[in-house]
Structures are given as C-alpha cells and as structure tokens.
Amino acid sequence: MSYIKFEKSQVVNLEYSLSREVIRTNRAGSYSSTTIVGCNTRKYHGLLVCPVDEFGGERHVLLSSLDVTVVYDDKSFNTGLRKYKGDYFNPKGHKYIEDFNADTLPSRIYRVGGVIIKQERLLVHYEEQFLLRVTILEAPEPMKLQIRPFLAYRSIHQLTHANLAANTKIDSIENGIKSKMYEGFPALNMQFSRKAEFVHVPDWYLGIEYIEEQKRGYDYSEDLFTPGFFELTAKQGDVIVFSASTREENPSGLMPKFTKTAAGKIPRDSFMNCLSNAAQQFVEKRGGKTLLIAGYPWFGAWGRDTFISLPGLALAKHRVALYRDVLDTQIERMVNGLFPNMGNLNNPAFNSVDAPLWFFWAVQHYIENGGKDGWERYGEAAKSVLNAYQHGAAFNIRMRENGLIYADAPGKALTWMDAVVNGVPVTQRRGYDVEINALWYNAVCFSLEMAKNTKDRKFVKEYEDLPALIQKSFLEYFWDEKLGYLADYVNDEEGKNFFVRPNMVIAVSMPYSMLDKGQMKKVLDVADRELVTPRGLRTLSPGNVFYKGAYKGNQDERDKAYHQGTVWPWLLGPFCEGWLRVYGKQGVQKIKKLIFGLEAVMSEHGVSTLSEIHDGDPPHSPQGAISQAWSVGEVLRIIELLETKYGNQ
C-alpha cells in the first residue's frame, strides 16, 4: 500500500487535484514542479527550471510542460492538461489518470482504451537534466507515441508572449533536437533513449492561464512555444526515456541513468522519510558554495531562514559536513557584522536585525552535534557580530546603555515579521524587540562560555558583566507579572506593546534564557491558549482587533495578513522546545501530538513536504510556498530532540 497515493476519483476532481503540487530539485539550483495531474497552475511551475548565470543566477523556466499523446486504433489520446480562458481545459488528460503515486518518484498511470502507460519523472542530481520514463504496461498491438515539448525561456517571476524575436529554428542531434529560443540562454537538448522522428511544426499556444497567479492578483496568461513533436512506435513492455538537458547526452546512457538516479532516492513511504527527502531539496551546491533555499518555488537563500532551518535540515542529512559547508558560505557573505537577509549572491540585502543573532544559535547546534571546531572556526565572526551590535551597525542597530539592542530604521521592517505594503511595514516593531534581545542575551552568554573555555581573557573581561545587565533590563522592559507574559516590543514613542504574538516564545526556548521556570510556564500557557493550532503558531491572537484569520487576496491583502494571525509551522520549534523544558516527560505526549499531527498535511499542498504558512482560522488551510525550509527543519529538529532525550515515551 502506497504512503502517498491519489485515486482516480481524486485526480479527476480538478478542484481537488490542482491544489496538490509536487516539487523536486537537483541540489544545484534547478527544480521541477507542477500539480499532481501535470497542469501548471503557477508561473513558477515547469519541468526544467534552471539558474542562468548570464542573468545573475536567477531561475528561468526552460521546459514548461510536455504533452504525451497515445495514437491507437485511429484515435489520439493526449494526456496533457492546460487551462485557457473561461475555465476551458484542453487537452483533458487528467480523465485518463488511474492514480498518482509519490512514494519513490512522481508517477502517473494512464489508461486510454486498451492501453495502459506509466509516466515517471525525475531530475538528475547536480545536473540540469529532466528525465521522463514512459513504460507501456499494456497494449493489445503496436501504437504511436507523440511527445510535444512546450518552451517558456523566461524568468520564474515573469510571463512570456508570442514574439518575433524568438528563434524557432532547431538543430538535429543524436535521437533528438537542440533548441535555443534567445541569446544568453543555454540550449535545451531534447533526446530519447531510442530513435524518434521529429516533426518540425513551430507554433505558439496562446492564452494559457495559471489559476494560482490569478488568485494572487498577478498577471496569469501567457503564450508557450512548441518547436514541433516527436513520434515513436511502441508496444507492450517497451520502456522509453526522454531527456531535456542543457547539455547534449549520449542516448545509450539515458536508460541506466534514470534507473541509477531513481535507485538513490529516499522512498517517501513514511512521515520521517518524507521530511528527510524534503530536507535534501533545500540544499543547493553550486559554484563552490553551499546554500539553503528558504522555500520553493519562489524564495532564494535567505540568511535568517538559513540559520533557523540549518540544525533540523543538517540532522536529516550530513550533519557536521553540511553544517560546515553552509556556515562557511554564510561567513563569506558577511559584511560589517551583518549577514545578508535576502537577495542573490551579487546583490545581497542586509535588512535583518535577527539573522546575525540566529547565527550564534546555529553554531551552538553545530557544536552540540559534533562540530568540535565550532568556536575556533566561527569565533571571530561571532565577535564581529557582537562588536557591531555593541557599537552600532547599519539600520540603527545598537546596544544602548541598558544592555538591550535597539533597532529603528524608518520604513524598514528588520525582524522576521517583515511584510511591507506601499512602502509601510505592516508590523514594524521598531525599538526593543523581545526575540531580538532574547537572541542577544543567548549570543553573549554562549560567546562568554566559549571564551572561558579557550581562555580568551580579553573577551571575558569585556563582556562578563553584560549578561546580568541585559537580564535586569529585559525583565524590567518586557515582563508584566499581572498579564503573565512578555511585551512584543518597546520603543521610546509607543511604550510597551503587549500584543500576544509568538516572538516571546523564542525567549523561552533559547539555550540561555533570562526567564525562570515560572515565567516560562506563564508565557507558554498564554501561547498555548491563544496561538497554538494543529498546524503551527498564529502570529497574532484571534482576540486582537488587527487579527486576520485568512491569508488570501492580492499581494497587499496577503501581506497585511502575513504576520497578523497567519499560522507558521516553524514556530512549533521554539514552542515545543520550551514546552519540554518546562514540563519535561509530562509534556512529551502533547508535543508528539502537535508534531506528528502534521503528517496529515503530506498530501494537502506540497506533496510529501510542509508548507510555508496556514490560515489562522480553522481548518487552517495551507498557503504560501508549497515547501518551506524552516517548516521542515524545525519539525525534524523537534523529532530529533524527542528521540534523543525521551526515546520511546
């Protein structure tokens, strides 16, 4: 019995099947993504989506989709699926699908008349190559297969339209053709494991629509180019492999290459294996650097997300080796005590007050998991962060005389709650932020511990009095005994903001916390009562006048809800760790219920992975990116914590 499988009654229901998506990466910057029925519903969908160095490494959709048509008994059965204006779908290949299975590879079984074929798709690791394997399971007599590629050749953030600048010519190569629509792009080599006839009939398919982009308030109609179609004769038992690659392949190697690559896949036959497989998808090794992609399909390698997700993702794979590679890459990107928050390698943005402080947390986990050279390797970088924060960094980030970090950059949102609408932050949280100062305290205490171990007397002398000052000021500014929880932020103009948000939970979960057990319990109890859901923690209590329970609408409407009630799975990490710290063995069952309850979402949005966010209101529908690094990473980290500390309880 398959772990993740969709029956015919589910796939033919487009309202159901078009909301289920699959993402696979090559671990080197490229990905392949579409819905379980093969209909692209986003501009980000495509079978081969690659970074193009000539355009700053931004990902571009080369091969958008394929139509596989069975010609049998003088009839044609096209298994493709596209949407056009007015909810018109053509072709309607989903009606031929018997089931979709995701256990090892995304595979579909199609039944057309007396013919049954199986289509399996994969990306080759560390190569820009998409492979499709077609197996003829049943066929009363020989038939023809026609395979038509649809090319986009454009950025994942844009759409393309029919134009005269496109190069419609093709070059013949062994068992296939080579096409290159525009200068600056790589050529796309389309080949088969056996000889195939190519019929050159270049054409534009106009007005293809993407449902999800329409919902999100973006342009959603584009034209795709097809150079023609391939035709092969096939019979029962035949296995044919199609390759789309940025380099010409030896056709004789396509079949064994598919088999070998498939054999190395982690089977998605359990919750843990799904998470472990998803964890690998975020790792990008390219150009001598190792990055963690924040989420698919539209995020890049963000500093904050990297440090938060790294412990859990590394635990799922190479542990120390992966840790070291990712941290080393981040150190190379560091400037004046700050790590880049977003942007690409050539144009980074440093607008984050918390990313450098999460770096300490990531190094702590590195050391705990076998990185004995942690302080020797990263101590100087850590000291440069502390020095920048103590004496002043960009965006008015600076420690004040009370020992707390104050950050205030007009028009900028510097914490993880960073949505901006029309140039105005939705949740600016300027001033003293609760999680920033919790992270700051943890960073200083950890650094002092390392400095004492290495007998760095100069550092110890400079910082040894600071933790007590930070704690004293923190409790004075943030703690309210009557309310029983921490202020979210404090500034000179507004005073103390006591909106119930999850940021205070981070203060409970840090390795070095300024709260006693009683205070921790009170904070967690408030969070449990008002923020915790089966899918993660809300970003604002439903009792707040600014609460928004659904993440929907155009970009502005979504951004206004992004941190105003929307649920984030990654926040289960600090909540669960804090809960176990306070309740110990008595808290294990509650945490297991929360963490393993997420198994239900494995087939709801991004198949076999965890989404970026969910609606604040029940039923907490999945939203945002279909696969998010810190969602997967923090769940894996808590599972590891449960197994390591509490075993089979």
What is the C-alpha separation between 290 and 52, in angstroms, rounded?
Answer: 17
Residue 321 has a pLDDT of 87
Residues composing the chain = 649
Count CB-CB contacts under 10 A for residue 198: 18
263, 293, 309: which is the final residue of a domain? Answer: 263
Q: Is there a domain that residue 420 lies in? A: no
Q: Is there a domain that residue 442 lies in? A: no
Query: What letter does residue 335 receive in the DSSP assignment?
Result: B
What is the C-alpha separation between 353 and 442, in angstroms, rounded?
Answer: 15
- CATH number for the domain harbouring residue 186: 2.70.98
What is the C-alpha separation between 520 and 513, in angstroms, rounded?
Answer: 9
Q: Which helix (DSSP H) or strand (DSSP E) does residue 435 occupy?
A: helix 434-453
212, 233, 263: which is the final residue of a domain? Answer: 263
Q: Is there a domain that residue 370 lies in? A: no
Total domains present in the chain? 2
263, 282, 303: which is the final residue of a domain? Answer: 263
- Calculate what percentage of the chain has a pLDDT beyond 90: 85
Centroid of chain to Cα 72? 42
Task: Please state whether 639 falls in left (phi above 0), alpha (psi between -120 and 50) or beta.
Answer: alpha
Q: How would DSSP label each residue in 116-128? A: EEEEEEEE-TTSS
The domain of 602 spans: 531-649
Residue given tokens 């843990």 in the structure block = 272
SS3 of 376-404: the string is: HHHHHHHHHHHHHHHHCEHHHEEECCCCC
Under the banding of pLDDT at 50, 70 and 90, the label for residue 438 is: very high
Residue 103 has a pLDDT of 84
Residue 30 has a pLDDT of 96
pTM above 0.75, yes or no: yes
- Mean pLDDT for 114-122 is 95
Cβ-proximal residues to 411 (8 Å cutoff; 6+ apart), any chain? 420, 423, 424, 425
Q: Is there a domain that residue 308 lies in? A: no
Tens digits of residue pLDDT in 442-488: 999 999 999 999 999 999 999 999 999 999 999 999 999 999 999 99
Tens digits of residue pLDDT in 245-299: 999 999 999 999 999 999 988 889 999 999 999 999 999 998 899 999 999 999 9
Strand partners, 120: 107, 133
- Calculate what percentage of the chain has a pLDDT beyond 70: 98
Q: Is 290 helix (H, G, I), strand (E, B) or coil?
A: strand
Instruction: List the structure tokens of 157.
Output: 């953030």
Tens digits of residue pLDDT in 574-595: 999 999 999 999 999 999 999 9
Instruction: List the structure tokens of 132.
Output: 């499709």
- Mean pLDDT for 225-241 is 97
Burial of 497 by CB count in 10 Å (0-12 exposed, 13-18 middle, 19+ buried)?
middle
8 A C-beta contact, residue 203 and residue 226: yes
Q: Is there a domain that residue 496 lies in? A: no
Q: Is there a domain that residue 377 lies in? A: no
Q: Is there a domain that residue 580 lies in? A: yes
Residue 85 has a pLDDT of 94
The residue among 368 and 606 whose pLDDT is bigger is 606
8 A C-beta contact, residue 445 and residue 512: yes
What is the C-alpha separation between 428 and 414, in angstroms, rounded?
Answer: 7
Dihedral in degrees, nearest 10, Cα atoms 156, 161, 165, 168: 90
- Mean pLDDT for 74-97 is 95
SS3 of 168-181: the string is: CCEEEECCEEEECC
Closest CA to 565 of 550, 586, 581: 550
Q: Is there a domain that residue 405 lies in? A: no
pLDDT at 631 over 60: yes
8 A C-beta contact, residue 79 and residue 100: no
pLDDT at 646 over 90: no
